[in-house]
């Protein structure tokens, strides 16, 4: 049963702490997306990678957010330092090669910064 796996599912942290969210894309998928969902913003694209290379991170606050793909089976999204306004659900999605393929989403990480 191929699926995108995100960990942790829930995270509560104090303001100023570092937060790392992880995503395991579906095997064979070469494109990975990170999204943030807030009440007001809908699904906001933060960054995406193809073949582990970052293609677009224009949606990501550069001063505190960073996204990496250490290898083809792991994508990470870090926030340092975290702030209460970062509280949201963060989704990862992966897509197979090809221009017209659908992306598959993970269950998300619900982050609460207090």
Residues that bind other proteins (CB under 8 A): 4, 33, 35, 41-43, 45, 48, 59, 91, 93, 99-108
In the complex with other proteins, the residue whose CB is nearer, 71 or 102, is 102
| Length, in residues, of the chain | 114
Cβ atoms of 88 and 40 closer than 8 Å: no
In the complex with other proteins, the residue whose CB is nearer, 78 or 105, is 105
In the complex with other proteins, the residue whose CB is nearer, 34 or 65, is 34
End-to-end CA distance of the chain: 36
97: its two tokens: 């090669």
Report the nearest approach of other proteins to the CB of residue 37 (Å): 9
Largest CA distance in the chain: 41
In the complex with other proteins, the residue whose CB is nearer, 4 or 77, is 4
Q: Counting beta carbons within 10 angstroms of the beta carbon of residue 53, is it exposed (0 to 12), middle (13 to 18) or buried (19 or more)?
A: exposed
Count CB neighbours of 59 within 10 A: 14
């Amino acid at each position: 049963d191929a699926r995108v796996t995100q960990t942790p599912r829930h995270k509560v942290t104090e303001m100023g702490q570092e937060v790392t969210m992880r995503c395991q894309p579906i095997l064979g998928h070469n494109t990975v997306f990170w999204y943030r969902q807030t009440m007001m913003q809908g699904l906001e694209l933060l960054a995406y990678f193809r073949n582990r290379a970052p293609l677009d991170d224009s949606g990501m606050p550069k001063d505190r957010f960073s996204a990496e793909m250490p290898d083809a089976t792991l994508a990470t999204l870090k926030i340092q330092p975290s702030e209460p306004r970062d509280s949201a659900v963060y989704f990862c999605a992966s897509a197979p090669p090809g221009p017209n393929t659908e992306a598959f989403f993970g269950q998300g990480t619900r982050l609460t910064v207090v």
